[in-house]
Amino acid sequence: MKRSKEVLAMLETGIMISIALILDLVFGEIYSFPMGGSISLSMLPIFIVAARRGLKYGLVAGVLFGVLQTLIKVYFLSIPQYVMDYLVSFMVIGFAGLVKDSLNKPGRLTLSIVLGSFLRLVSASITGLIYWRSFIPDEIGFMDQLFGGSIFGLFSTENGAIIFAAFLYNSLYLVPSAILCVIVGLILQKRKILAYHLEVEI
């Protein structure tokens, strides 16, 4: 019985990672921001794994999602950058599994998605500051055009503007993505789809 449950959990995780990759490709084709990132539902399957199978499988799903993304697209500067960009930044999505009973309670599901999305935002922004700092002025130029203002004009120091811009740029796609995941996740939860039960004979 225990082996049966483990096989089922691995099967579900594999299916959800595949769906996440497909969603990432589809939404990326619709629109991608100039310096990377797209508003997408690709995190939702990882949140579903975390809700159904807990923290361990959520973290594994996040890491594997990041690794498999590198088979499609990868910007590689160094091993530490790769680890931060493709392992840590996606692994932290799985911390949504820390929120108990998110499978059945709307408030807890929402909290789990907000937690995972926030951790990814923090991780991606820190990675940007450490490894992609030279590209942040380009991001600022894009956001200045988008908002019709000057980010540098809001701060007395260049470092302050760059730190703010790193978080703002990543927020442009991760915050809407989180909202989209919450909306669709709650619909799936209400329809009892998140709590479906598969059976496997071993």
pLDDT score recorded for residue 134: 81
Per-residue pLDDT of the chain (202 residues; tens, 9 = 90+): 566 788 889 999 999 999 999 999 999 999 999 888 999 999 999 999 999 999 999 999 999 999 998 887 767 778 888 899 889 999 999 999 999 999 999 999 999 999 999 999 999 999 989 887 888 888 889 999 999 999 988 888 888 999 999 999 999 999 999 999 999 999 999 998 988 765 544 4
**What is the distance between the terminal CA atoms of the chain, rounded to a whole angstrom?**
8
Q: What span, in angstroms and rounded, lies between the C-alpha atoms of 60 and 91? A: 7
pLDDT score recorded for residue 42: 97
Helix axes 2-30, 55-69, angle to 10 degrees: 40
Under 8 Å between Cβ of 67 and 113: no
pLDDT score recorded for residue 5: 81
pLDDT score recorded for residue 195: 83
Under 8 Å between Cβ of 144 and 151: yes
Q: What span, in angstroms and rounded, lies between the C-alpha atoms of 24 and 70? A: 12
Give the distance, in angstroms, between the CA of residue 118 and the centroid of all CA atoms in the same chain: 9
Q: What span, in angstroms and rounded, lies between the C-alpha atoms of 67 and 83? A: 9
Tokens representing 24 are: 């990432």
pLDDT score recorded for residue 201: 47
pLDDT score recorded for residue 2: 66
Residue 5 region, left (φ>0) first, then alpha (ψ -120 to 50), else beta? alpha
**pLDDT tens figures, 71-122:** 877 677 788 888 998 899 999 999 999 999 999 999 999 999 999 999 999 9
Q: What span, in angstroms and rounded, lies between the C-alpha atoms of 127 and 123? A: 6
Q: Is 6 exposed, middle or buried (0-12, 13-18, 19+ CB in 10 A)?
A: exposed
pLDDT score recorded for residue 49: 97
Which amino acid type is present at position 13?
A: T
Give the Cβ contact number of residue 27 at 10 Å.
18
DSSP secondary structure letters along 144-164: HHHHTS-SGGG-SSHHHHHHH
Q: What span, in angstroms and rounded, lies between the C-alpha atoms of 198 and 202? A: 13
Full set of structural domains in the chain with CATH: 2-123+174-190 (1.10.1760.20)
Tokens representing 93 are: 């999505």
Identify the residue whose tokens are 């019709």.
148
pLDDT score recorded for residue 202: 46
* Helix, coil or strand: residue 197: coil
